[in-house]
Structure formats: C-alpha cells, structure tokens
Amino acid sequence: DADVTQTPRNRITKTGKRIMLECSQTKGHDRMYWYRQDPGLGLRLIYYSFDVKDINKGEISDGYSVSRQAQAKFSLSLESAIPNQTALYFCAIGTGNNQPQHFGDGTRLSIL
C-alpha cells in the first residue's frame, strides 16, 4: 500500500458544488499538509496540521476548509467550488524532524 493515499485521483465538477478531497497515511506521522499546484507557481500551502487538535492556515486558505478526523486522515473541502480552484492538489506528511515531506499522488480537480 502507498504511504500516502489521496482520493479521488481525478474529479470534474461544477461551480457551486461542495467537494471533499481525502488523504490517508500509513506512516504514523503526526504532520499532514495540503498543497495546491498551479502552472508557473509551484506548490503552495493551503492548510497544515500537527495533530488532530492542531490545524493551521497556510498561505492560500481562503475558500478551503480542512478536517483532521484521525491521526491518519486529513481531508480538504471546497464549500462552494469556483473555476479558479481548478488545480492539482497534493497531500503530504512529515515528521517534524527536519526530514523532507512525503507526498501522495495528487488529485486533479477541474471545476467547470
């Protein structure tokens, strides 16, 4: 099994719909992150969580919310999707011990 699993892999939806992207991990790491990737901009941090009760906004959190349901699960929600949220979304995990983050395979989200 993959260390970090993201579902769905691809999603096409319409403006105004509520969308949830899910992330689960098998490594037992405390830290989980959500990033969005756009062409020419690299990856930008949306939200991060250091444990179930510790959730923090990243640099582009507007229009997004998250839930850390358990140590291993971290979901990202778009309450009312808009076309400029079309992007590739990555979940990542980390140890906080100066180790590189480890990424899932991404969810490509298209909002029409």
Which stretches of the chain bind other proteins, using CB under 8 A? 31, 35, 40-45, 48, 50, 88, 90, 92, 94, 96, 98, 100-103, 105-106, 108
Nearer to other proteins, 79 or 105 (CB): 105
Minimum separation from the CB atom of position 16 to other proteins (A): 27
Minimum separation from the CB atom of position 30 to other proteins (A): 11
Cβ neighbours of residue 40 under 8 Å, at least 6 residues apart?
none
Q: Mark 30-64 as b/e (b = at least 16 C-beta within 10 Å).
A: ebbbbbbeeeeeebebbbbbeeeeebeebeeeeeb
Nearer to other proteins, 48 or 74 (CB): 48
Minimum separation from the CB atom of position 100 to other proteins (A): 5
Give the span between the Cα atoms of 14 and 1, in whole angstroms. 32
